[in-house]
Structure 1
Amino acid sequence: MTDVTHTPLITAIIGTGAIAHAHADAITGLAPRIRLVAVVDLDRSRAEAFAARFAPDAAIYPDPAALFAGESLDLVHICTPPQTHVPLAIAALRAGVPALIEKPTALSLAEMDELVAVSHETGVPALTVFQHRFGAAALRLKQMLDNGALGRPLVATCETLWYRAPEYFDLPWRGRWEIEGGGPTMGHGIHQFDLLLATLGPWAKLTAFAARQALPTDTEDVSMAVVEFENGALATVVNSIVSPRETSRLRFDFEFATVEVEHLYGYRNADWTFTAAPGHEDLAEEWAQNASDAISSHRSQISAIVDALVAEGTPGVSVDDARRTLEFAAATYASAFRGTPIRAGEIAGDDPFLRSMGGDAVPWSPIKPALEKNR
């Protein structure tokens, strides 16, 4: 892996669509600790316009192979459609370059396992963008939980209630299992339930439902799960893109306090509410100490990655952590489409849900009527 004990770190972006702008904004805001030196896009004119806005001196490359041959990089940002994430990340790792991958990291657990194997083999980090873990309030919550101040976690709710109009799916890769991997469970709510899992730890079992309520997609537009965690906590998880009043909401009920956040695409400290249980009012004072108003964002995660790489530490979110979150998504689909509870680790071997989030079991699949007719 490239020696990154220096600053600025040298980085490049592959794919210059909408989400790449969040990465470039973060890089610009973190200067001079990190510098964007190159961009890659199949559409050269789009790459040139992107570079002109964010890094006028950046080199333009037609493909990743040319990028890795032409630049010595400390980090590469993969901001392309989901079906390309793992092949591009593997190419980066084999070139010795840590990869920061937009969600979803992979389209299936089998594909994720391939990425995990290459990361372990090469010793090069593969990281996933789960920026809500890096907001100041979420870090404070985790610290208080880990030091025992909040007591045992008991109940949680996790809601991603968003709205996407039908024209959102005019892009040919949206709403398709084979390209996007799934609906809001994979592409929207995954940020919220990743923070849920990062806070509460390993999940043990879940029961789920999924439906296509309104949108012209192959994938679901709503899913719901009831989850039991290894520590005994119980949670509900709702992912929707048919909800006109959009909100992202998490609530944690611990023995000694309730901690809640409601926001949309990124939270500040003011979006959080802390309610101490009777007899534990001093916890509210502890919560309020050293509160930062910085928004949870790509910048907060990329800043933490830069710090870790320069210090030769372990940046987050690692491919192993991201795999656990992806397994939760796969289990949600498997439970919903099979109509049975799913335990952690159950999706393995020749299970169809290891190879595809749809598991060849999507009840509204156009293939299903044909199969029924031929029986």
Structure 2
Amino acid sequence: MARRRLAVIGAGAIGRMHVERARLHPQAEAVAIADPSPAAREFAQREGLRWFEGYEAMLDEVRPEGAIVATPNATHVDVGLACIARGVPALIEKPVTDNVDEALRLARAADEANVPLLVGHHRRHNPILRRAREIVQSGRLGTPVTANALATFYKPDAYFDVEWRRRAGGGPVLINLIHDVDIMRFLLGDIVEVQALTSNAVRGFEVEDTAAVLLRFANGALGTLAVSDCAASPWNWDLAAGEAAHYPRQQVNTHFLIGTDASLTLPQLDVWEYRARKGWHEPLTVERSTPHSGDPYHEQLRHFAAVIAREEAPLCSADDAARTLAATLAVHQAVAARGPVAPAR
């Protein structure tokens, strides 16, 4: 497969990461970047990329085969629509937008124009999650009954020097927990009811530092999620899954899927089950599946190249990502309502 010519819109940390991954990728290459900041211009020069102040001019002049959208969430719709209008497939970073109605508007526009959009819920491309999905879909767990996940970590004080991180909407629910909500949806299907509590008791900022969430899935299973960014804890996906070298990996599990026939832990992929009769007096056996390790961002670029070529359907479409966004936003809605909330659709 020829390397697909990609333009990157937004030169923040995630945009630069995509450029770095594409530099050595056999199926994708970054050729231009659009971001008005002087730092972005310097970055483009160092990387040998064409630099543009505005993304529309870049799309018109460069005519890339695909675009990576790594701009602030509130701009995703306008940038995505600009790509769709020019017939350019886009990889849009998560969350797909900052509200569900706009996400669905973007999904409709893409469908009507027959331009594929891929949303960057990158964990779906991790070999661990792909194997977990195979196990769940094989029926080995029987009927899923409950699922539990921990996203507990400690953000240093300097992280909060940026004001928006101390304000509502800048906390671990929308920034971090959305990943775990998406994992749950990817493995167990749609979420139909959310209840939640949040707390800011440790730091006292306007934004939450801790949340506890109760989920009901369409298949009848129940789930719990706990997130905290003020916890001295190894129990979070970034530390446990080994996706990024700058996080010290811990040999722990963070996600637990429990069914009538077997249970599955992640990221270590332990399957616990009875080999003979079922019952709490009977011995359980454990089997570990060990997939090859892989960089999910690298695999996401491979997949995006295949999406551009119309060889694969987007693993996370705009409509799919809107469902994850709706379930995550429902956490704050449930807190405000002091009761159960159905995610908006």
TM-score bin, normalised by smaller chain: 0.7 to 0.9
CA contact (8 A) 2:275 2:284 kept: no
Partner residue in 2 for 1:85: 76
SS at match of 1:160: strand
Write out aligned runs for 1:94-173 (5 A).
94-173=85-164
Q: Measured at CA, do residues 294 and 50 of structure 1 come closer, stay the same or move farther in structure 2, by a change above 3 Å?
A: farther
Instruction: Note the aligned Cα RMSD (angstroms).
Output: 2.5
Q: State the SS of the aligned residue for 2:231.
A: strand
Matching residue of 1:63: 54
Equivalent residue number for residue 5 of structure 2: 10
Cα deviation, 1:78-112, whole Å, max 9, x if unaligned, reads 22222222222222222221221222221112222
Give the conservation status (yes or no) of the 8 Å contact 2:146–2:222: yes
1:253 equivalent in alignment to 2:250: no
How many angstroms apart in 1 are the aligned matches of 2:206 and 2:81?
Answer: 28
| 1:47 counterpart (41, 45, 56) | 41
1:304 matches 2:295: no
| C-alpha contact 2:116 2:308 (8 A) present in aligned 1 | no
Shift of the alpha carbon at 1:196?
Answer: 0.9
- Shift in alpha-carbon separation, 1:294–1:49, aligned structure 2, 3 A: same
Per the TM alignment, residue 38 of structure 1 is displaced from its structure 2 partner at its CA by: 0.4
Deviation at 1:334, TM superposition (A): 0.9
1:371 aligns with none
1:229-281: CA deviation from partner (whole Å, max 9, x where unpaired): 1211111012221113243121111223221125xxxxxxxx43332334399
- The 5 A counterparts of 1:342-357 are 342-344=341-343, 347=344
Matched, 1:24 2:19: yes
Corresponding residue to 1:184 among 163, 168, 172: 172
- CA gap of 1:283–1:60, structure 2 versus 1, over 3 A, is farther
Residue identity opposite 1:258 in structure 2: S
2:217 pairs with 1:229 = yes
SS of residue matched to 2:233: strand
Check the 8 A contact 2:164/2:170 in 1, yes or no.
no
The residue type paired with residue 337 of structure 1 is A
Cross-structure match for 1:353: none
Partner secondary structure for residue 336 of structure 1: helix
Distance 1:221 1:90 in 2: 34
The equivalent position to 1:275 in structure 2, one of 272, 276, 281, is 272
Offset, 1:50: 4.7
Distance (Å, rounded) in 1 between the aligned partners of 2:11 and 2:204: 26
- The code of the aligned residue for 1:24 comes to V
C-alpha deviation, 1:173, in angstroms: 4.2
1:295 corresponds to which letter in structure 2?
G
Q: Which structure 1 residue ranges, 5 or more long, are not aligned?
A: 1-5, 263-270, 349-375
Secondary structure of the residue that 1:342 maps to in structure 2? Answer: coil
Q: 1:279 to 1:303 in 2, by over 3 A?
A: farther
Structure 1 residues 257 and 316: CA distance shift in structure 2, 3 A: same
Quickly say closer, same or farther: Cα 1:59–1:132, change in 2 above 3 A.
same
> Cα distance, 1:118 vs. partner?
2.0
What SS class does the counterpart of residue 316 from structure 2 fall into? coil
Whole-angstrom distance in 2 between the partners of 1:38 and 1:85: 18
Partner of 1:352: none
Query: Matched residues in 2 for 1:334 and 1:212: separation?
Result: 16
Contact preservation (8 Å) 1:44, 1:62? no
Alignment length (residue pairs): 323
Give the gaps of 5 or more residues in structure 2.
Answer: 237-253, 278-282
1-side partners of 2:23 and 2:285: how far apart? 37
CA 1:283–1:114 in structure 2 vs 1: closer, same or farther (change >3 Å)? farther
- Distance, in Å, in 2 between the alignment partners of 1:83 and 1:172 is 17
**Offset of 1:343 from its aligned partner?**
2.2
Distance 1:284 1:62 in 2: 56
* Matched AA of 1:115: L
TM-score by length of 2: 0.85
**How big is each residue's C-alpha offset from its partner over 1:89-146, in whole Å with a ceiling of 9 and x where there is no partner?**
2222222212212222211122222222322232222322111111112112212222
Deviation at 1:182, TM superposition (A): 4.4
Aligned residue type for 2:165? R
Alpha-carbon offset, residue 64 of structure 1 = 0.4
Residues 131 and 331 of structure 1, relative CA distance in 2, 3 Å threshold: same
Residue 336 of structure 1: how far off its partner (Å):
0.8
Which secondary structure state, in structure 1, belongs to the residue aligned with residue 64 of structure 2?
Answer: coil
Amino acid at match of 1:196: M
